[in-house]
Amino acid sequence: MKLLHHPERKDILLSSVLYALSDPVRLQIVAQIHRGGEQACKSFEVPIAKSTLSQHVRTLREAGITHTRIYGTQRLLSLRSEDLNERFPGLLDAVLRSYGESREEIELRQEYEKQGS
């Protein structure tokens, strides 16, 4: 089985976390996992190609934001909330709260719905 690298808690860097969160698609993925718990990549409501999604998922994992679990042919993603809160207290909550209130999520949803119609 392919082993995926996840950085240890102490090696999670603030600049990498902020970079990983600085993309509307990745923010949307993180917000969706935060709302619904561990879920498969295919459940993410983002208007992008599968290969692009894989890149985003990788960026999140390598920054230490998400944990990817391989289950059969699926990749299940969960948030490393405990690691992040221990390392950078309040940061993830502040980002998710800001994201929920910003227009960026709404715009991404509209784009998604337009593509799906």
Phi, psi of 103 (to 5 degrees): -80, -15
Residues in the chain: 117
What's the CA gap between 84 and 86, in Å, rounded? 5
Residues that bind a copy of itself (CB under 8 A): 13-16, 18-19, 21-24, 27, 87-91, 93-95, 97-99, 101-102, 104
Give whichever of 21 and 76 is closer to a copy of itself, judged by the CB atom.
21
Give whichever of 59 and 77 is closer to a copy of itself, judged by the CB atom.
59
Q: Give me the least distance between CB of 65 and a copy of itself, in Å please.
A: 12
Q: What's the one-letter identity of residue 101?
A: E
Q: Give me the least distance between CB of 92 and a copy of itself, in Å please.
A: 9
Give whichever of 20 and 76 is closer to a copy of itself, judged by the CB atom.
20
What are the CB-based long-range contacts (under 8 Å, 24+) for 49-56? 52/25, 53/25, 56/23, 56/25, 56/26, 56/29
Give whichever of 37 and 89 is closer to a copy of itself, judged by the CB atom.
89
